[in-house]
Amino acid sequence: MNKNITVLSGDGIGPEIIAEAVKVLGRVGEKFGHSFAYTYVDIGGCSIDKYGVPITPEGMEKCLSADSVLLGAVGGPKWDIVPQSIRPEKALLAVRKELGLFANLRPTKLFPMLASASPLKESIVGNGIDLLIVRELTGGVYFGRHTTEEVDGETVATDIMSYSRHEIERIGRVAFETATKRRKKLASVDKANVLDTSRLWRSVMHSLAEEYPQVEYCDILVDNAAMQLVKNPGQFDVIVTENMFGDILSDEASMLTGSIGMMPSASLSSGTLGMYEPIHGSAPDIAGQDIANPLGTILSAAMMLRYSFDMAAEADAIESAVDTVLNRGFRTADIFTPDCEKVSCSAMGSLVAELI
């Protein structure tokens, strides 16, 4: 197959980790007879510096016309002072919205050989963590009206959170379908004791639950979910939630494994177009030193093969190469322990590529 991938390397360590994912994809192409063509587009701070905007309309066009999009990371302290309207994050939200990427899949898996990196006790993570957060990505308070105005002599800021039935239903369906292919458990997280959006959310999820009797379904309030994630993370299989709750809980979940540099993500539309990125940030403090962990990006490329290109065997090949490299004791600095061999970002990418 021939596939066109638009690559948004972004800022900080973005270009370094992306280079390793492209290296691994190159090997997959050779091995399985595919050709991947790459179009590089600036996003975030690097685009602000060059064009004064975090993504240009031409850049956005190249995302829309691609078979899929691979993203490194955006932002950094250098651009913290730019006006709100052109902040690096704006580009990310715009790409999500324009490409219709309403379903964000964020898996959190504890790699057994990295268990000691978890900040949680062995008694809590000992049974393993393998959960998937399905986060609604194009609705809710992120995309409601935001205003700051003077009312009766004082400043009042307002952010509107709104959800329509169809937005909830389509993300709910993704979550139930995903749970069906995993351990068949789904927890829907809301704040139905306070929010109208959550009450609608819950009623839509309950109707869907009737269509999926094979999935063991439960509701859980977001504050309790935050607590349960550290108390007993092993109870979760798939978690579905709205945009902002998903933002917060997915950071919490990623930390349970202690190796945020390993965690991939996929943002999917109703078609095959998706955007794939590691969940960590641009880490400007270590940029340019060839010490970042490229595995989150490499595993994101595997998700791209699986979800956008329907290449399951190719995705499996990447994932098992990553397992093997870790089992052989190779570690980047962020997951290094003294009994292991420390390798650079580019060496890690080569090790994975060689095993494909």
Catalytic residue among 3, 90, 109, 191: 191
Distance in angstroms (rounded) separating the CA atoms of residues 356 and 345: 17
In the complex, what is the shortest distance from the CB of residue 279 to Mg ion, in angstroms, rounded to a whole number?
Answer: 7
Catalytic residue among 49, 159, 251, 285: 251
* Whether the Cβ atoms of residue 91 and residue 54 lie closer than 8 Å to each other: yes
**Half-sphere exposure of residue 309, counting CA atoms within 13 Å on the CB side?**
30
* Whether the Cβ atoms of residue 269 and residue 102 lie closer than 8 Å to each other: yes
In the complex, what is the shortest distance from the CB of residue 75 to ligand IPM, in angstroms, rounded to a whole number?
Answer: 7
Q: Which of residues 27 and 135 has its CB atom nearest to Mg ion in the complex? A: 135
The site partner of 92 among Mg ion, ligand IPM, none (C-beta below 5 to 8 Å per kind) is ligand IPM
* Whether the Cβ atoms of residue 131 and residue 236 lie closer than 8 Å to each other: yes
CA 126, 135, 158, 146 dihedral sign is positive
Q: What residue type is assigned to position 130 of the chain? A: D
In the complex, what is the shortest distance from the CB of residue 89 to ligand IPM, in angstroms, rounded to a whole number?
Answer: 4
* Whether the Cβ atoms of residue 55 and residue 97 lie closer than 8 Å to each other: no
The site partner of 89 among Mg ion, ligand IPM, none (C-beta below 5 to 8 Å per kind) is ligand IPM
In the complex, what is the shortest distance from the CB of residue 353 to ligand IPM, in angstroms, rounded to a whole number?
Answer: 27
CA distances from 291 to 17, 100, 216, 338 (A): 10, 34, 42, 16
The verdict on whether 247 is a catalytic residue reads yes
The verdict on whether 191 is a catalytic residue reads yes
Q: Which of residues 144 and 234 has its CB atom nearest to ligand IPM in the complex? A: 144
Find the distance separating the first CA and the last CA of the chain, reported in whole Å.
18
Q: Which of residues 178 and 265 has its CB atom nearest to ligand IPM in the complex? A: 265
Residues that bind ligand IPM in the complex, under the rule CB under 6 A: 89, 92, 247
Catalytic residue among 109, 247, 276, 307: 247
The verdict on whether 339 is a catalytic residue reads no
The verdict on whether 40 is a catalytic residue reads no
Q: Which of residues 66 and 283 has its CB atom nearest to Mg ion in the complex? A: 283
The site partner of 318 among ligand IPM, Mg ion, none (C-beta below 5 to 8 Å per kind) is none
The verdict on whether 251 is a catalytic residue reads yes
Distance in angstroms (rounded) separating the CA atoms of residues 213 and 198: 22
Comparing C-alpha atoms, which of 255, 264, 111, 105 is closest to residue 182? 105
Contacts of 41 (CB under 8 A, 6+ apart): 6, 7, 8, 55, 59, 62, 63
Q: Which of residues 124 and 244 has its CB atom nearest to ligand IPM in the complex? A: 244
In the complex, what is the shortest distance from the CB of residue 73 to ligand IPM, in angstroms, rounded to a whole number?
Answer: 9
Query: Which residue, judged by CB position, is nearest to Mg ion in the bound state?
Result: 247
CA distances from 239 to 20, 90, 194 (A): 30, 26, 20
Q: Which of residues 76 and 349 has its CB atom nearest to ligand IPM in the complex? A: 76
In the complex, what is the shortest distance from the CB of residue 296 to ligand IPM, in angstroms, rounded to a whole number?
Answer: 13
The site partner of 314 among ligand IPM, Mg ion, none (C-beta below 5 to 8 Å per kind) is none
Q: Which amino acids are annotated catalytic?
A: 142, 191, 223, 247, 251
